[in-house]
Amino acid sequence: MRLFSGVLLALLLAACGMDSHAPLRVGYNPWPGYAPMTLARDLGYFDEREIQIVELSSTSQAMRLFREGMLEAIGVTLDEAINMRAQGMNIVIVLAFNYSDGADALLARPGIDQVEKLKGARIAVENEAVGAYLLARFLENSPLKLTDMVLVPSRLDSHLDIYRRGEVDAIITFEPALGQIEKAGARRLFDSRNIAGEIVDVLAVRRDALRQHGLALRHLTEGHFRALQYIQTHRDEAYPRLAALIATPVEDVPAAYAGLLLLGLNENRHLLAGSEPRLCRTAQQFARIMLEQRLIERDPGLNTLCTAAYLPAQVDKGVRP
């Protein structure tokens, strides 16, 4: 995994001008669902002079750089995209990476085998991430209230360490940290399978960047789908590459992807195309829940959130590594 560094910061700053040849800068955190996009880069499926992939250590860091204008596109969960729209950012979703099918979870220490035992517990959760939504949906399905627990804000890259040190009783996390914490003895109390289809990872782009970077976006999405095909047909070669990208042992790659459904071109057209895209309808339902839970303060206006305009013409199928 490549962590954000001073050298990379300098490269980002150098690309901040309005030069028509400036690369499309795409940032994301180390989530397995985003890794095929970087695999596409490593396989040479698009020109690195045209598209700059920026792998960051946390969602919070990626969101900060996106807000500051140092990235044109960002891998986020659907709720994070909704939150950005609610904050007045004019973004559009051009690609759906995956559905979470157990890859986001609330884990607890051995002995905490019932939801009621979380009363008074210290629960780690990442700020500005899908963790807040998963926690809200968990509370909707449990007898507990938010005030029954002590929240411990934490970054994804610290989750395993704070669990091992005994600093928290439970943790809301996601792959690849999730599998590592389960290996350390934690048990699931709630995960994204309990809210099927609600946690979706997407590529959000600044609307004002579409004109300058439209062709690069099409090359990026085409490369991403080619990488999905490569994973399906060349697993022995793909798994070591993916392991390096998500910082997990090669033998743990199947487990890291077991909780994901990677979405191919057909699924993306189904979600993003049409006058009323299916993903926009899902987002509107999602936004109502977020308003009720006070995760956002106003209606984000989602009718123009999704577009299929930057998907390639080539057709493939969704794959699960």
The yes-or-no verdict on residue 6 having pLDDT over 50 is no
- Tell me the chain's radius of gyration from C-alpha atoms: 19
- Which of the four pLDDT bands, split at 50, 70 and 90, describes residue 235? very high
For 165-222, the pLDDT digits (tens) are 999 999 999 888 898 999 999 999 999 999 988 899 999 999 999 999 999 999 999 9
pLDDT, average across residues 246-266: 92
Q: In the chain, what are the domain boundaries?
A: 6-99+200-292, 104-195
How deeply is 152 buried, as exposed, middle or buried, from its count of CB atoms within 10 A (0-12, 13-18, 19+)? middle
Same-fold call for 6-99+200-292 versus 104-195: yes
Overall CATH class of domain 6-99+200-292: alpha beta
List the beta bridge partners of residue 100: 260
Q: Are strands 170-174 and 122-125 parallel, antiparallel or unpaired?
A: parallel
Domain 104-195 in CATH: superfamily? Answer: Periplasmic binding protein-like II (3.40.190.10)
Task: Give CA–CA dist 257/233, Å, rounded.
Answer: 16
pTM of the model: 0.81
The yes-or-no verdict on residue 265 having pLDDT over 90 is yes
pLDDT, average across residues 115-130: 87
Task: Give CA–CA dist 190/172, Å, rounded.
Answer: 9
Reported as half-sphere exposure (CB side, CA atoms, 13 A), residue 108 has a value of 18
For 293-317, the pLDDT digits (tens) are 788 999 999 989 999 999 998 644 4
The yes-or-no verdict on residue 289 having pLDDT over 90 is no
The yes-or-no verdict on residue 19 having pLDDT over 70 is no
- Which of the four pLDDT bands, split at 50, 70 and 90, describes residue 12? low
Question: Cα 3 to the chain's mean position, in Å?
Answer: 16
